[in-house]
Chain A
Amino acid sequence: MMTADPARGFSLWPESASTGAPDIDRVYIALLGLTLFFALLIGALALGFGVKYRAGAQVIRDRIIHKTPLLEITWILGPFLIALAIFVWGAVVYMDATEPPAEARAIYVVGQQWMWKVQHPGGRREINELHVPSGEPIKLVMTSQDVIHSFFVPAFRNKRDVLPGQYTYLWFEATRPGTYHLFCAEYCGADHARMRGRVVVMTPADFQRWLAADPSAATSGESESASGEAMPPTIDSPAFVRFGCDDCHQASPTPAGPALHGLFGQRLPDPSHGSATVDESYLRQSILEPNAVIAAGYAAPSTMPSYANQIDEYQMIELIEFIKSLRDAPMREALP
């Protein structure tokens, strides 16, 4: 069953609902202006010359242009400079639009034929709907369970392909509460056209209420550090225990494996790439391909077994969120 599309009337311009949308629109409008300019120019030349020099017209036809190379260089250089300007402008906007801020709230998306599954950290799940708070940067951590899909929200002017076997990221900061189209933009088989849904933007207060309303949300207490600041909650992870992760990964490094608390977000040396930031992709690869990058101080080949084909995407999300939550708080004692 397909989620109902947000109801809309006919329009010629898409609505905007993110902080990034106006930036994209500005580049687009500049390009529209450029297109209009050149279309009118060529059109005027065509009309002007076409009428003036038509066969049968009595007109002087001997004004030969002598400076051919100069003219050519002008109309090579002119477009070249314009192209450069638009490239730089577009590149800057692009870099902003694709680099999530560090404090962005992560929400997980799993695409599959032919639906979008959303997992909020803390437990709430959605199908073909994504609830987000306005005024807060959101980072979607996305993967596919089968073929390539693409998560596209026209109102945010952004999309990113969703690939099997790895995480890709899309970030935005929604501005206006409301309901917006969500489409799959990469052809993915029979019901590609029906793989669409809604993004529901809520005020932060409404969003918190919505998030907490689901009875299956994991309970977590907010703990305060000595200085009185609220710390990110430590969450339970049954998967961490069930797959035996806590045998080797404990509060301090053991001969079997490095400690995980404080790991997320660090920059680590990486023999093949210089350095790597521990993000969701790094953790995912470490769990599925332990031999891809060996932690400093440990020998290759890794003694960690691969959990490929054993862990499903939801368990992966749970593990990653758990490891993220080990920022500064000590790990809970292993359950018996």
Chain B
Amino acid sequence: MAEAPLAHQFDDIVQQREAAGLGMWTFLATEVLFFGGLFTAYTVYRMSYPDAFREACHHLYMWLGAVNTAVLLTSSWTMALAVRAIATTDRRSGISSLLWTAALGTLFLLIKGVEYYLDLREQLVPGAGFRTAWSVDPSHAQMYFVLYFIMTGLHAVHMLVGVGAVLVMAFLVWRDSQVTRRANAVEMTGLYWHFVDIVWIFLFPLLYLVA
């Protein structure tokens, strides 16, 4: 089975694969801390102003969020299928699964975009246009939405990068006559994809299921 070319700094392909894997896990650890700061801020404010947060949460579209959760979970499944396919030299299934993953990711982003548009229309976007007549605690209701937009926005940026990476992988696999050479790279992309999915699994209940 063909392997990726050996970079000069590594002694053998096993070392190279180990390094890539540990590198990706370390990077994911940094992402946990990155989102962690936001989760901390959110938790602090939610514990201090539970009523304002509960009230604000009712204005989110929970069913859109739920659909998105299903979309992302499915995309993680297709990603796992892609990794398996490419490792076992099944080029067609591999590319198809990667494209499905990218499509589901894009669907997620589209649904998110619809949500944002609806929020904008209801004047729930913090800033000058924010409407708070429905809240007894306007400043903390706005705080909820500030955190909501930053957290989901940051997640969406990561999704976008992920979709891009998956498409690039699909292209590289398609172009390479020996697909197993790309197996490790696709696996690393899969790790990243699963991580972004897990972040959403935490975001969804925290933001949408406050009641």
B164 to chain A, nearest CB (A): 42
Produce 1/0 per residue, B108-141, CB < 8 A to A. 0000000000000000000000000000110000
Residues of chain A at interface, number, CB under 8 A: 4
B76 to chain A, nearest CB (A): 38
A301 lies within 8 A of chain B by Cβ: yes
Chain B residues in 8 Å Cβ range of A289: 137
Residue of A nearest to B55 (CB): A301
B31 lies within 8 A of chain A by Cβ: no
A168 lies within 8 A of chain B by Cβ: no
Interface of chain B residues 45 through 63 with chain A (CB within 8 A): 51
> In the complex the two chains form, what is the Cα distance from A110 to B82 in whole Å?
64
Nearest 6 A-B pairs (CB), nearest first? A301-B136, A291-B136, A291-B137, A291-B51, A300-B51, A289-B137
> In the complex the two chains form, what is the Cα distance from A47 to B91 in whole Å?
72
Interface of chain B residues 19 through 61 with chain A (CB within 8 A): 51
Chain A residues in 8 Å Cβ range of B136: 291, 301
Residues of chain B at interface, number, CB under 8 A: 3
Produce 1/0 per residue, A280-315, CB < 8 A to B. 000000000101000000001100000000000000
> In the complex the two chains form, what is the Cα distance from A36 to B181 in whole Å?
64
A202 to chain B, nearest CB (A): 42
Residue of B nearest to A305 (CB): B136
> In the complex the two chains form, what is the Cα distance from A289 to B136 in whole Å?
10
Chain A residues in 8 Å Cβ range of B51: 291, 300-301
A sample of 7 cross-chain residue pairs with beta-carbon separation below 8 angstroms, ordered by A number, consists of A289-B137, A291-B51, A291-B136, A291-B137, A300-B51, A301-B51, A301-B136
Interface of chain A residues 247 through 298 with chain B (CB within 8 A): 289, 291
Residue of A nearest to B139 (CB): A308
A299 to chain B, nearest CB (A): 13
Chain A residues in 8 Å Cβ range of B137: 289, 291
A300 to chain B, nearest CB (A): 7
> In the complex the two chains form, what is the Cα distance from A291 to B51 in whole Å?
9
Residue of A nearest to B47 (CB): A272
> In the complex the two chains form, what is the Cα distance from A289 to B51 in whole Å?
12
A165 to chain B, nearest CB (A): 10
Interface of chain B residues 130 through 189 with chain A (CB within 8 A): 136-137
> In the complex the two chains form, what is the Cα distance from A300 to B137 in whole Å?
13
Chain B residues in 8 Å Cβ range of A291: 51, 136-137
> In the complex the two chains form, what is the Cα distance from A126 to B136 in whole Å?
37
> In the complex the two chains form, what is the Cα distance from A301 to B51 in whole Å?
9
> In the complex the two chains form, what is the Cα distance from A291 to B136 in whole Å?
8
> In the complex the two chains form, what is the Cα distance from A283 to B51 in whole Å?
20
Chain B residues in 8 Å Cβ range of A301: 51, 136
> In the complex the two chains form, what is the Cα distance from A116 to B71 in whole Å?
58
Produce 1/0 per residue, B6-28, CB < 8 A to A. 00000000000000000000000
> In the complex the two chains form, what is the Cα distance from A289 to B135 in whole Å?
13
A314 to chain B, nearest CB (A): 23
> In the complex the two chains form, what is the Cα distance from A160 to B136 in whole Å?
33
Residue of B nearest to A302 (CB): B136
Chain B residues in 8 Å Cβ range of A300: 51
Residue of B nearest to A290 (CB): B136
Residue of A nearest to B140 (CB): A289
A307 to chain B, nearest CB (A): 14
Produce 1/0 per residue, A86-116, CB < 8 A to B. 0000000000000000000000000000000
> In the complex the two chains form, what is the Cα distance from A300 to B136 in whole Å?
11
A273 to chain B, nearest CB (A): 11
> In the complex the two chains form, what is the Cα distance from A291 to B53 in whole Å?
13
> In the complex the two chains form, what is the Cα distance from A289 to B48 in whole Å?
12
Residue of A nearest to B52 (CB): A291
> In the complex the two chains form, what is the Cα distance from A289 to B141 in whole Å?
13
Residue of A nearest to B137 (CB): A291
B48 to chain A, nearest CB (A): 9
Residue of A nearest to B49 (CB): A292
Residue of B nearest to A301 (CB): B136
A265 to chain B, nearest CB (A): 25
Residue of B nearest to A289 (CB): B137
Residue of A nearest to B51 (CB): A291
A272 to chain B, nearest CB (A): 8
> In the complex the two chains form, what is the Cα distance from A301 to B52 in whole Å?
11
A310 to chain B, nearest CB (A): 14
Produce 1/0 per residue, A31-67, CB < 8 A to B. 0000000000000000000000000000000000000
B50 to chain A, nearest CB (A): 8
B43 to chain A, nearest CB (A): 14
B51 to chain A, nearest CB (A): 7
